[in-house]
Amino acid sequence: MTEREKLVELKDVQITFGKGKKKFVAVDDVSFDIYKGETFSLVGESGSGKTTIGRAILRLNPISAGEIYFKGQKISGKISKEMDEEVIRKCQMIFQDPYASLNPRMTVTDIIGEGIDIHGLYSGKERQKRIYELLELVGLSREHASRFPHEFSGGQRQRIGVARALAIEPKFIVCDEPISALDVSIQAQVVNLLEDLQENLGLTYLFIAHDLSMVKHISDRIAVMYLGAIVETAPSHELYENPLHPYTQALLSAVPIPDPTVEKAKKRIILEGEVPSPINPSPGCKFQARCRYAQPICKEETPNLKEMKPHHYVACHMVK
């Protein structure tokens, strides 16, 4: 088997915010690789650090420690102007709320054309042709080009957001909860669109989601995050069939099953409380306050990620 090419690499990345007593660790020693052409998903409740990581890869959040690489080149910290431009050109983001992320006073042509103009890719008729092509690529039509965002449905607006991200021909896209603000009936359409684009354009995705309900099929691998750290990572099918971390098990128990008999018999694991404050966290496992299996060791030692099966890693003292 040929070795897969790593497109993005995170090595021991730490991201902190605030200072002194208010300082908190939003991302705590996170490492992972994203291979060319795959979808790697980060899943966790709000405040788990997943969006902060996505923004750090795009250089929108500085990192406090560790390193980030794109195509083998370091892109964190101080880098050359050329490398900075390479990241802006090749790495894009699709946002959660398509309405908030589109300027209401701009037409679709101007929204999609903005990146084309900034990077001087096309002008005149070529520019308009490219905008029409992009609209068709995302399932809209050239008639939509002169309209404003408020004239579209939520699903259509997200398609405009996708076209805007594709305008400068990126290789890597951070999809930051791109479907969670949409109706359930529309979610699958946007996921299918992203999958088709990935196949046709050879894109690589970092897909961010707050639960496990919609990421099974789009993901090749999934990392579950809790309070700034990865607690479990595995190929998608393996994570759904054999979740090992108590937090992953709780997230999975909340995913509805289409078969009503199985759904009725399923036991939902209710997690008490919210994600605790990341300011001055207690020593030991970050999940201890909400974990039904917690033992004395969990208060003393922080569990590290261990490979329990090929490519399946978990950070829990009780998983042996």
Smallest gap from Cβ 261 to ligand SF4, in A, equals 31
Question: Do residues 217 and 191 lie in contact, with contact meaning Cβ atoms separated by under 8 Å?
Answer: yes
What is the C-alpha end-to-end distance of the chain, expressed in Å? 30
- Give the contacts of 61 (CB within 8 A, at least 6 positions apart): 15, 52, 55
Helix (H) / strand (E) containing 174: strand 172-176
Smallest gap from Cβ 51 to ligand SF4, in A, equals 23
* C-beta closer to ligand SF4: residue 193 or 250: 250
Smallest gap from Cβ 246 to ligand SF4, in A, equals 5
Which of 47, 49, 155, 303 is the binder for ligand SF4 (CB under 6 A)? 303
User: Is 317 one of the binding residues for ligand SF4 (CB under 6 A)?
Assistant: yes
Smallest gap from Cβ 40 to ligand SF4, in A, equals 23
What single string gives the DSSP state of each residue in 7-39?
EEEEEEEEEEES-GGG-EEEEEEEEEEEETT-E
Helices (H), the chain: 50-57, 81-90, 108-118, 124-137, 154-166, 184-201, 236-241, 246-253, 260-265, 296-300
Question: Do residues 15 and 26 lie in contact, with contact meaning Cβ atoms separated by under 8 Å?
Answer: yes
User: Is 167 one of the binding residues for ligand SF4 (CB under 6 A)?
Assistant: no
User: Is 305 one of the binding residues for ligand SF4 (CB under 6 A)?
Assistant: no
Token couple for 234: 């595995």
Residue 123: other Cβ atoms inside 10 A: 12
User: Is 298 one of the binding residues for ligand SF4 (CB under 6 A)?
Assistant: yes
Residue 188: other Cβ atoms inside 10 A: 13
User: Is 291 one of the binding residues for ligand SF4 (CB under 6 A)?
Assistant: yes
User: Is 130 one of the binding residues for ligand SF4 (CB under 6 A)?
Assistant: no
User: Is 316 one of the binding residues for ligand SF4 (CB under 6 A)?
Assistant: yes
| Torsion sign over Cα 131, 137, 143, 145 | negative
Residue 131: other Cβ atoms inside 10 A: 23
User: Is 152 one of the binding residues for ligand SF4 (CB under 6 A)?
Assistant: no
Which of 288, 305, 312, 313 is the binder for ligand SF4 (CB under 6 A)? 288
Stretch that binds ligand SF4, among 143-151, 180-188, 272-280, 291-299 (CB under 6 A): 291-299
Smallest gap from Cβ 274 to ligand SF4, in A, equals 17
Q: Which residues pair with 14 in a beta bridge?
A: 65
Stretch that binds ligand SF4, among 35-43, 47-55, 65-73, 292-300 (CB under 6 A): 292-300
Smallest gap from Cβ 278 to ligand SF4, in A, equals 16
User: Is 93 one of the binding residues for ligand SF4 (CB under 6 A)?
Assistant: no
The 10 Å CB-count burial string (b at 16+, else e) for 213-236 is bbbeebbbbbbbbbbbbbbbbbbb
Smallest gap from Cβ 151 to ligand SF4, in A, equals 48
Stretch that binds ligand SF4, among 86-94, 122-130, 162-170, 283-291 (CB under 6 A): 283-291
User: Is 271 one of the binding residues for ligand SF4 (CB under 6 A)?
Assistant: no
User: Is 246 one of the binding residues for ligand SF4 (CB under 6 A)?
Assistant: yes
Which of 121, 137, 255, 318 is the binder for ligand SF4 (CB under 6 A)? 318
Number of residues that bind ligand SF4 (CB under 6 A): 13
- Give the contacts of 230 (CB within 8 A, at least 6 positions apart): 30, 32, 223, 224, 305, 313, 315
* Contacting positions for ligand SF4 (CB under 6 A): 246, 285, 287-288, 291, 293-295, 298, 303, 316-318
